Every structure is written in structure tokens, then in C-alpha cells.
Structure 1
Amino acid sequence: MDGKLLRQAFGKFPTGVTVVTWFDEDGINGITVNSFTSVSLEPPLALVSIDKKANSYKQLQNKPFTINVLADDQEAIAWQFAGRPQEGLDIPWNKEGDSPSIIGVSSYFKCKQWQQYDAGDHVLFIGEVTKFERQDGDSLTFFEGRMGTTAMYKSQEVQ
């Protein structure tokens, strides 16, 4: 199977863009993730998928974490945590609680580790949501390798 073509086919599914963040011995750490989904309302569970080759896979083990759903004006933050440093970027943090959250996101979900599952070259981290917040505004999206915004969906009437 051609992995490049498979990746392009998966890229036909638009996703949101999140940054998963946690505290470690050096301060705050994080990784950009678009493989995020709600799992359950009772108990409240959310899932992120992390590549086993990513340093974050080992660093996130058994730590509380926050899933930050980025707002449409936070593309630079997405690239920063995807391993493309953004010179001069100043990220506003809320450091309260067990894991840090990014100020100004569309929503965030603070989670304690609930389960993790092996999934081929990735690990599925399922967190139990202990706190969440949301705000009005558009979210950042990812489609066919490009960042975008949910605003484009609002201009179309639902029939």
C-alpha cells in the first residue's frame, strides 16, 4: 500500500487542530494533534492519537493533559508545537490546575489519563475530562495539508 497516497486520502477528511499540553520537569510541553475525538459523555472521555516515534509519546505517559482546540487566529501556535519554531511567538498560558491550557482557544478539555491503547504506529490516549471551557468564535481546521477556519462553513446556508 502506498503510504503517501493513503495519507492524502486521509487528508480529504477535514479536522480541527488541537495542541495537547502538559507539565513536565522543564515546564510546559506539548504537541499539535488533529486526531482528536470525543468518546463518551458519561463518563466524559476524549481521545488523542500520538505517533510512537514522537518524543511526546513517552513524555505524556501517565500525566494529566489539556486538549486545546485552537482558534482560527492561532495557526502559529499549531506550527510551533508541530516542530516548526515560530520566531517571536509569545504563547499566553493559564497554568492553573494539573495541566496548562492556552489562553484564547476555542475550547479546552483538561484530562486525567484514563486508558491508552496500542494502535499500530500510534497510541490512543483516552483522558477523562475533569474541566472544560468554550468560547464563541471560529476554530482552526486542517484539510489536505493546509490550515483553514470554520468560518467558511458559516457562510453556507443549511437546507
Structure 2
Amino acid sequence: DPPLVLWCMDIRSDRHDAFAGADRFAVHMLPVEDKEMSDRFAWGVARLSEDEFETANPEPPCLRNAVTRLDCDMHQQIIMGDHLVIVGHVRSFATRPGDALTYFRGKYGQAVDPTI
């Protein structure tokens, strides 16, 4: 307590400064069928078209196709080696039915929706 989530990013990322300076951010879990969007975020500059997200300022952009979204306030940042560890305090979340995309040891998989 409080509910926390962490994720890491390479300090050489072109998105480093935006996240390092953010007071709030959102974590999205993509649907299992959306490997292409995952690859765009992981391996290149993720530019989204207007039909892929919505904004409700001052909230961070919301991916329309996400299975789950965690809205977070920045809780802590730690530099560890060549990565920035970002810890968020989860303020709210939204979820919808569907299997989520996972990535482990270089391979995609899925987390099966327990409600089905």
C-alpha cells in the first residue's frame, strides 16, 4: 500500500526526457492481436495516428485498443545502469474483456482473460 507499478526505459531512448519530467503517466496493456503496435513502441519512434488514441487533458493520452490502462502519478525514479526505473502510484485503472499481449525472453505470448 499504496498500489505501485514500475517499468524501465533505456536512458538513451528518445522518449526519456518526456517520461523523466512527467508528473503523471499511463501504462497500457495491449490486446494479444496488437504485436505491431508493441513493436512500434519497443523498436522505433512510436508515432500514433489520431484514431489510435484519445486525450482528456490533463490526463495522459489513452490508447483506444488497450485491454487495461493504469493511470499513475510519478512516485519515484531511480537510475540503474543504463536504465531509468519509473515507479508510479496507481490512481485509477480501466479494463475490458480480452487477452493481453505479453513479452518474455524475446517472444510474444498472452495472458488469458480469467473472466472468459
User: Which portions of structure 1, spanning 4 or more consecutive aligned residues, are displaced by more than 6 angstroms?
Assistant: none
- The verdict on how the C-alpha distance between 1:56 and 1:84 changes in structure 2, with shifts beyond 3 A counting, is closer
Supply the distance in 2 between the matched residues of 1:126 and 1:150 (Cα, whole angstroms).
22
Pairwise CA distance, 1:115: 0.9
**CA-to-aligned-CA distance 1:42-73 (integer Å, 9 cap, x gap):** 21211111111112222212312110011101
Q: CA RMSD in A?
A: 2.4
Which one has the largest radius of gyration? 1
Q: Can you give the 5+ residue segments of structure 1 that lack an aligned partner in the other structure?
A: 1-41, 155-159
Matched residue, 2:15: 56
**Amino acid of the residue matched to residue 79 of structure 1?**
D
Supply the distance in 2 between the matched residues of 1:69 and 1:62 (Cα, whole angstroms).
23
Pairwise CA distance, 1:91: 5.1
Matched residue, 2:36: 76
- The verdict on how the C-alpha distance between 1:84 and 1:60 changes in structure 2, with shifts beyond 3 A counting, is closer
Residue correspondence of structure 1 range 1-159 to structure 2 within 5 A = 42-63=1-22, 64-84=24-44, 92-96=52-56, 97-151=58-112
**Amino acid of the residue matched to residue 106 of structure 2?**
G
Q: Percent identity?
A: 24
Give me the TM-score of the superposition, normalised by structure 2: 0.79
Supply the distance in 2 between the matched residues of 1:76 and 1:44 (Cα, whole angstroms).
30
Supply the distance in 1 between the matched residues of 2:51 and 2:38 (Cα, whole angstroms).
11
Give me the TM-score of the superposition, normalised by structure 1: 0.60
Q: Can you give the 5+ residue segments of structure 2 that lack an aligned partner in the other structure?
A: none
